[in-house]
Structure 1
Amino acid sequence: MKTEKGNKIHFVLKTILFFIALIWGFHKAYSQQIKVFGKITDSLQTPLSYANIFAIPESDNEVITFAITQENGTYKLGLSKNQSYKVTVSYLGFKQQVVSITTSNQDLIKDFILLENPDQLDEVTLNYTPPITVKKDTITYKVDAFATGEERKLREVLKKLPGVEVDKLGNVTVQGKKVTKVLVEDKTFFTGNSKLAVNNIPADAVDKVEILDNYNDVAMLKGLQDSEDMAMNIKLKEDKKKFAFGDVEVGAGIKDRYLFHPNLFYYSPKTNVNFIGDLNNQGIKSFSFRDYLEFEGGFGKLMNDAGSYFSLFNSDFAQYLNNKDYTANTNQFGALNIRQSVNTATDISGYVIASKSKTETESNTLNDYLNFDTPFKEDRTVTNSLNNFFTIGKITLEYNPSFEEDLTYDIFVKLTNNDSNGLITTLNPTQDNSITTFTDVTGINLKQNVSYSRKLSKDHTTTLEATYSYQNDKPITEWLTNRQILQGFIPLVDDTFYNINQTKKSNSHSFNTIIKDYWVLNNFNHIYTSVGFSSVFSTFYNQDVQQLTNGSINNFNSNDFGNDFGYNFIDTFVGLEYKFQIGIAAFKPMLYYHFYNWNTKQFDDKYSNNKALLLPQFTTKIEFNNSEKINFKYALNARFPSIERLANNFILSSFNSVFKGDTTLENQLYHSVSLNYYKFSLFKNLNINLNMSFNKKVKHFKNVTQLDGINQFTTQILFDNPEYNWSVRGGISKKINKIRYNLRSSFNYSDFYQILNDETHLNISKSVSSTFSVETFFKNHPNIELGYVKDFSNYRSLSNINNFENDKYFINLEYDFLKDFIFKADYSFDAYKNKNNGITNTFDTANASLFYQKEDSPWGFEVNATNLLNVKFKQQNSFNSFLISDNKTFILPRFIMFKLIYKL
């Protein structure tokens, strides 16, 4: 651990070096660029909008630059000074024009007049294929124009395409907009998630990359359904369209580290087979919570039903997937995907994914309890040994006989079996205790979905979607300790050793269906009507008991513990939407009328209710042009409680908390507003994103907590004091020649009430985070990314104000040298401060790898080192309505691996 003086010196040196590099890079890049601009017309001086202009440099050190003409036919190109270029101008139906230009130190004006070529569409052979082709909603990249041949995976190719970004996880952004679906040869790749595709498809198999904006799986619904989706379609090279390809990676390292990672692909016009496997003990998790969301329908779709999202997020399976840091981890993963074209109209596809892992985790948390009378601190250490297994399978039938008809049916099944063995140690003013925990969770989830779309006439299109879902979970938990826990909260019998067992069972059947008619009055006016039905039939059972050392059982049911709860919920609704366009703006007011009916049964007690709600929504989309848009959305939302919130007997939640639901809870009601602005300038290499959201809770569920030391009893009420949440997020990215400058910032504000020990108080939370980075894009020199992150967070509760800060510097290096070598390294330095507790911690992390593969050789070799500085833990803070936590999460130690890669 560094001294405070050493930390300050470290900060100063890093800041000076950072800004010297930044200023030098900006000056160097800016001083080498000039502007070429002009107008493209036909022989009658009619402007040609969306014409393509490409400037291909003669020097290998320069990059290809392209532009698209505006509505008035004007264009702008940013080129390097004193360089020679071949400029190609193309437009469908016109003869291509190619000229050579040499730039100087002055801006250049260059106009073009294109001549019609009516025979162009009949030509069989084209002598020139442009690197980029741009149409209204489609951008096509010719990969060979940007790749050097040293790329291993698709992600490395994508990074070199203008306007395309790939983050470390494999998420792809094009011109500031996230890719939400990946296709290969026009067919969905696995689930469509970009991670599996960009991290596994070999780079040398890719011929073209198509970016499809406003994408819709059903072609006839494009322009009817509001789609903000962006798809990426991978076109394979001709010799890969009926060919087996892929690679196999094998690795071994110190401290018995190992890795086996095969990626095998077979493609033909009718049959596609993909297999991805992974066996390692490096802490690499091949399946994440984000992947899980994609299997459940995608984040965007789930957030339309916030209840489903939060139910997934809080599930035991999701909690395992969210865990990213371990002290030890062994992972076994396999994914098999098969797609078969039966005929021109019918496809059958399916996948199965299985994962098995053994994980060890350790964390240390300093909890600062904001009790009104006697604030105190708790030091808690938690260790866990987990065994997790899941299998996911899906079969899909797609029938698309014509543009006017589309049918999709799929069946999905998920099996899980997770168990863990943990130890919780707590040190606080009222007790010192160690609790051993055992958990065992088994579950099954089955879903069936059918979607049918039919174009009934020129003006009417109808869709039907129906879903059936079945879920059954059985978690079992055991707490073992030699001291009493939750004294006064649970009815323990004195014993020499305390063994508390909990059994849960939850079961649900749900059915949802919606029929929607799209009526096109004319190009500027649409009316959509819908009718739908949603139902859930669920049961929840739990029992908490104490197993005494003499063999007898102390059942807590006699003290109002234990639930045997049934919950039936039905929602019938009709909706009316009117979509109209005025100029560049499209508006869509919507009204949905819902009639809800629900009833509950706890033993012999029954409760039933019904309610009708009118829920308005409104959206506006202003499209200045293809690269500048504003989206506005408003909705009044209702969300009903889950069965666990309604079960009105006590349930043991953890070693220090008890929860009790309320059968009489009705629905939450809240307003949500969002405003998104997006702009991308090809000429200026400028990308701007601004996202603002606002939520006002009118009626909402509120925890009512009784706190006694670290022990807490919680129930819920329907609270009608409004609470507010603001969020503003923005980013700007500017590329000048071969250097890109990025600034991202976010601000979050929320106020919320806490009801603690019969007192109600308003709390306020604020946080600000900003990231500034600079990255280079050289062909023959090392590429570096430098960045600085500054985080502030402030939490106010009564008279307590808590402040946290975090400073982070990071640098990423990639260098291709001697033709066959690739060196990669990353380093970050964090300084974390809890100002109120006077806690300051700094830590460094670093990783590096060296890869060698001789050109045209199938064999590759790599040495990589993870956690080079052998950092022991990561640190972060969190808070809720009555405590603030400083958390240390321990991570894997340093290890070095040697890898052998064979490319098929």
Structure 2
Amino acid sequence: MKKILLVFLMLMFTNVVFAQKTISGLINDADGKPLASASVTIEEPGKNAILAYGISNAKGEYKVTFNSSEMNLDLKIKAFNQKPITKSIKNEDQKLNFSMDSQATEIQEVRLKTKLITKKGDTISYDLKSFENKNDRTLADVLKKIPGIEVNKDGTVLYQGEAINKFYVNGKDLMEGGYGTVNNSLPKDAVSKVEVLENHQPVSILRDKVPSEQAALNIKLKKSVTMTGRGEIGAGFSPLLWNVKLTPMFFGQKNQWVVNYKANNNGESVENEGNILSFGNRWEGRRSQAAQKSWTNLETAGVPNIPEKRYLLNNVHFFSANLLTSPFKNKEWELKANASYTNNSITREDVQTKVFGPQSPTVDGGGIFISSTDNRFFDNVAKGELVFTKNAKKGFFKNTTTWNSFWNTDRANVDNNLPPAKNDVTATPINKFANESLESPTGTFQNSLSTIIPWKDKLVNFMSYVKYQKDRQTMTVSPGKYMEQFGFSAFDKITQYANSETIEVNHSASVGFSYRKWTFTPEFGLNLNFNNLKSAITGSIDNSRYYLGRDKQNDVDWNEVQPYTQVGINFKSQNFNLNLTLPMNFYGITYKDNMRQNYLDKSKTVFEPNLFASLDFASFFKIWAFANQSYDFGNFGFLYGGNILTSPTNLQVRYSDNVQMPQYLSRMAGTRLEYRNPLNNLFFNVRYNYSTNKRNLIEAYSTNGFISTLTLQALENSTKSQTESAEIGKYFPKFKTNLSVNASNTDSNSFSNFNGIFGESTNSRQSMGIKFNNTYFSWLSIDYNINMNWNKNSNKVLNTVLNSSGWNHNLSTYIYPSDNHTFGFNWDDLSTKASGQNFRNSFFDLSYQYTWVKRKIDFEFKWLNIANRKVYETVSVDAFQQLVTTNQMYIRPSQFMFTVKFNFK
């Protein structure tokens, strides 16, 4: 597949670039005045297909780029109230001027027919009504069917395979990246069209100066002032089930707001709607998804790779409120206030079987070991955010203040059939049971400021970012004998404490000035990062606590001082964009172990360039190029000299006598060819990426299959990875069918040190997917997705190969005998195969929906998992350890739900 994709890419590039021709000129009316909005198309004679097109600007100028093997072509010009022109031209570069004669047209009958997809400049507009089916209710339902657009499992919207950078509603960014709530709850009937803003630069003052490689989505509502929203109330059984969703929304010209309350125990993680899915760009300041620093974790049951409604055993309450307003008469200023709170509990359970082969470096002579894990997770998360913004042509200002708090409590019951020690041939496995708990409160504060001020013909940018985070984690495992290999067998209970604090400060200043189509931006900055970790392991006997020595304690500082200077070079023309960043970064990093008086430091000045460029050609084609080089000198938590239980079965010390400060060098290069033709509803892209990573350290594991220890070793190693992929999608209006096919190939290698054996593994993975939806018949709609994958995992030390494969598909079909009635059938089928074992997991659902058309209210009856399947089974392989793992994960049983769904107005 890799060779085929490369050949396809080269042939395509050669064909469209080296045969490319351009025709340009002026179009005037009979009086010699420029004609704007005249359409110019290039066609091959005798064929009813448009090769390329252009539209004249206000000065009457036009430009069309195309490629064709024909000797002669037809050039056609059309404009309102003008006589059309058709001219035979030679297939060569040329300039042609035209004068159009007036021609009044008598219109006897007018029929309005909305185009499915239209393109104007960098904006592609989709008529939403053309892609929906009768069962769709929200914007997200329809977005999944639009060619060129995908929606990931986490709700992220992709265009041509890349995440969007903004999600607007009527041109306003209310949600600041957390657009999942609007996407899932905005009624489709309120939407007029969806606009893709290609190469979107969110900062207005930079739009003609600094290009962007990402696209944005703008949702155009039917009314400029809209009160809408979506609600659901449901109940069911097996066990007692409930579901509440209430999301009223208001979108006005000055104010927008969304209030959202969602709660359920039927397997839907509504709390993820608050996640940040798009991050704008660096000129808007720093934005990040708040996360806890994880020093220790419980043993955790596996998560099935199936829709979460199949396995998620939850009880969640999620509330959020988002407000956007223009507080001043000057509407360029906006104030946004966002708040959310989550209370969630989840249970999860699995049984895992590990089979080690006779040549395994992990277990002598091989063996079979079984463990079962039962988890209960209790999460409380609160967030508040204030955003003050001015985004105008004459200046930019944005300040974002964010507070986050986490109060999490987790529990686990684990029953392990532990293997004997690797070198103890007389020992036998012993069943050992453990109760585990983890308390992990976290608090964070962040403030990001960015402003761009015009100064004469220059732009001055100041940026500031401040973050403070405090994490506390306490893990308890009882009984202590569970971890006797670590020397804890004498204790009733083992407790791991870990407290950490982080202060991060980033400041920068830059000046941008332009010369013709070039923009140069020199920048100076200073990044500071100060961190401290304190940890200890204690043992308890009869409620008396004992510290287990200095080797089980840490008091570590990790501090970074990074001044830098860089120059940004941007070139922007009608068809070509270039962005080149040339930074010189000085890294000053110190590691200090206050208990052992160990000290390491790293001072290095490095060059870390970054490049991306794009070229539009032949009207519908675009080619991208990417390249960058970066260094990684480690981060807080990479080194510590005292042992930490990162889990009850994993004891880590990230230090040794000969250890060095980490120094990793990564390089990446890639290219992407895109084709976007709204005239025939065809989209495709071809990609190639190559990356390398050179390291001076390696992690050394010692394990018997369950109990593991880790240290660091100074050993140079290099890894590489390359990926080729292609995707093509087309909408067939005549058959009301959307079809897309994607394929990819990835080859990579890795180095490992298991039980003193150093070696290399390689992995080759191929995947292919097909998406199909059809609404040709008014009484039937069909959605079908299938994804297949093949893996080849090779152990270079033992010269062994383990193969695995899998596929999953989903079929959703709905029958509409009348406007009031909808019958639905859903089929999920997932399979994994490895080492002679094959597990297939099939799920079937039925639904019936009655619609009160006048009130736009749905009454839905749904029966999920009709076969009452209670376990999801998978198999996976690890060639280096000669390990085959099967996992049985407990999922939701058969359940029945009755739900009332309605719109707010």
| Same-fold call, TM cutoff 0.5 | yes
Q: CA deviation at 1:437?
A: 0.6
Identity in percent: 17
In 2, distance between residues paired with 1:231 and 1:163?
13
Partner of 2:606: 613
* Aligned residue runs from structure 1 range 167-246, under 5 A: 170-174=155-159, 178-238=163-223, 241=225, 244-246=227-229
In 2, distance between residues paired with 1:114 and 1:819?
50
Partner of 1:776: 774
Alignment partner of 1:138 out of 89, 109, 123:
123
Partner of 1:792: 790
Structure having greater relative contact order (Cα 8 Å, sep ≥ 6): 2
Query: Can you list the C-alpha shifts for 1:305-344, whole angstroms capped at 9, x where unaligned?
Result: 9999998799979x99989574621111111111121122
What code does the residue aligned with 2:379 have? N
Partner of 1:842: 840
C-alpha RMSD of the superposition: 3.9
* Aligned residue runs from structure 1 range 70-85, under 5 A: 70=54
In 1, distance between residues paired with 2:628 and 2:204?
27
Partner of 2:527: 534
SS at match of 2:852: coil
Q: CA deviation at 1:115?
A: 6.6
Query: Can you list the C-alpha shifts for 1:469-490, whole angstroms capped at 9, x where unaligned?
Result: 1111111111112734141xx3
SS at match of 2:790: strand
What code does the residue aligned with 1:554 have? Y
Alignment partner of 1:543 out of 514, 524, 536:
536
* 1:876 and 1:886 in contact (8 A); partners too: yes
User: Is 1:724 the counterpart of 2:720 in the alignment?
Assistant: yes
* Aligned residue runs from structure 1 range 509-658, under 5 A: 509-523=503-517, 525-549=518-542, 551-558=543-550, 560-580=551-571, 585-603=576-594, 605=597, 607=599, 608-624=601-617, 627-658=620-651
User: Is 1:427 the counterpart of 2:421 in the alignment?
Assistant: no
* 1:689 and 1:731 in contact (8 A); partners too: yes
Partner of 2:22: none
Partner of 1:337: 322
* Structure 1 range deviating more: 868-877 or 647-656: 868-877
Partner of 1:274: 258
In 2, distance between residues paired with 1:246 and 1:191?
19
Partner of 1:733: 729
* 1:831 and 1:840 in contact (8 A); partners too: yes
SS at match of 1:546: strand
Structure 2: 5+ residue runs without aligned partners? 1-24, 42-48, 55-61, 68-75, 85-97, 105-109, 421-429
* 1:47 and 1:73 in contact (8 A); partners too: no
Partner of 1:692: 688
SS at match of 1:196: helix
Query: Can you list the C-alpha shifts for 1:54-83, whole angstroms capped at 9, x where unaligned?
Result: xxxxxxxxxxx999824766999xxxxxxx
Partner of 1:253: 236
In 2, distance between residues paired with 1:307 and 1:371?
41
Partner of 1:902: 902
Query: Can you list the C-alpha shifts for 1:4-57, whole angstroms capped at 9, x where unaligned?
Result: xxxxxxxxxxxxxxxxxxxxxxxxxxxxxxxxxxx998768999888499xxxx
The change in CA–CA distance for 1:314 and 1:368 in structure 2 (over 3 A counts) is farther
In 1, distance between residues paired with 2:326 and 2:824?
41
User: Is 1:437 the counterpart of 2:436 in the alignment?
Assistant: yes
In 2, distance between residues paired with 1:148 and 1:759?
58
The change in CA–CA distance for 1:581 and 1:397 in structure 2 (over 3 A counts) is closer
What code does the residue aligned with 1:500 have? I
User: Is 1:714 the counterpart of 2:704 in the alignment?
Assistant: no
Partner of 2:88: none
The change in CA–CA distance for 1:161 and 1:585 in structure 2 (over 3 A counts) is closer
Compute the TM-score of the two structures, normalised by the length of structure 1. 0.81
* 2:210 and 2:579 in contact (8 A); partners too: no
The change in CA–CA distance for 1:360 and 1:727 in structure 2 (over 3 A counts) is same
Compute the TM-score of the two structures, normalised by the length of structure 2. 0.80
In 1, distance between residues paired with 2:323 and 2:854?
30
What code does the residue aligned with 1:593 have? M
Q: CA deviation at 1:831?
A: 3.2
Q: CA deviation at 1:879?
A: 5.9
Partner of 1:889: 889
* 2:296 and 2:647 in contact (8 A); partners too: no
* 1:872 and 1:890 in contact (8 A); partners too: yes
What code does the residue aligned with 2:540 have? Q
Partner of 2:366: 375
The change in CA–CA distance for 1:473 and 1:463 in structure 2 (over 3 A counts) is same
* 1:726 and 1:749 in contact (8 A); partners too: yes
In 2, distance between residues paired with 1:823 and 1:336?
35
In 2, distance between residues paired with 1:40 and 1:814?
53
In 2, distance between residues paired with 1:692 and 1:830?
29
The change in CA–CA distance for 1:202 and 1:471 in structure 2 (over 3 A counts) is same
The change in CA–CA distance for 1:860 and 1:649 in structure 2 (over 3 A counts) is same
In 1, distance between residues paired with 2:605 and 2:145?
54
* 2:201 and 2:211 in contact (8 A); partners too: no
The change in CA–CA distance for 1:903 and 1:133 in structure 2 (over 3 A counts) is same
What code does the residue aligned with 2:505 have? F
SS at match of 1:649: strand
Alignment partner of 1:418 out of 408, 413, 429:
408
Partner of 2:339: 352
The change in CA–CA distance for 1:306 and 1:650 in structure 2 (over 3 A counts) is farther
Query: Can you list the C-alpha shifts for 1:746-768, whole angstroms capped at 9, x where unaligned?
Result: 22221111112223111111211
* 1:365 and 1:887 in contact (8 A); partners too: yes
In 2, distance between residues paired with 1:680 and 1:485?
59
The change in CA–CA distance for 1:625 and 1:455 in structure 2 (over 3 A counts) is farther
SS at match of 2:481: coil
* 1:40 and 1:73 in contact (8 A); partners too: no
What code does the residue aligned with 1:562 have? Q
The change in CA–CA distance for 1:740 and 1:47 in structure 2 (over 3 A counts) is farther
In 2, distance between residues paired with 1:74 and 1:229?
23
Query: Can you list the C-alpha shifts for 1:777-815, whole angstroms capped at 9, x where unaligned?
Result: 325141223444332112122323211122434322133
* Aligned residue runs from structure 1 range 395-410, under 5 A: 395-400=386-391, 402-410=392-400
* Aligned residue runs from structure 1 range 49-64, under 5 A: 51=39
The change in CA–CA distance for 1:685 and 1:205 in structure 2 (over 3 A counts) is closer
Partner of 1:670: 666
SS at match of 2:806: strand
SS at match of 1:199: helix
Query: Can you list the C-alpha shifts for 1:139-179, whole angstroms capped at 9, x where unaligned?
Result: 34565677788752223454676765556765445566654
* 1:67 and 1:682 in contact (8 A); partners too: no
SS at match of 1:455: strand
User: Is 1:808 the counterpart of 2:808 in the alignment?
Assistant: yes
User: Is 1:450 the counterpart of 2:449 in the alignment?
Assistant: yes
SS at match of 1:870: coil
Structure 1: 5+ residue runs without aligned partners? 1-38, 54-64, 77-87, 99-111, 119-125
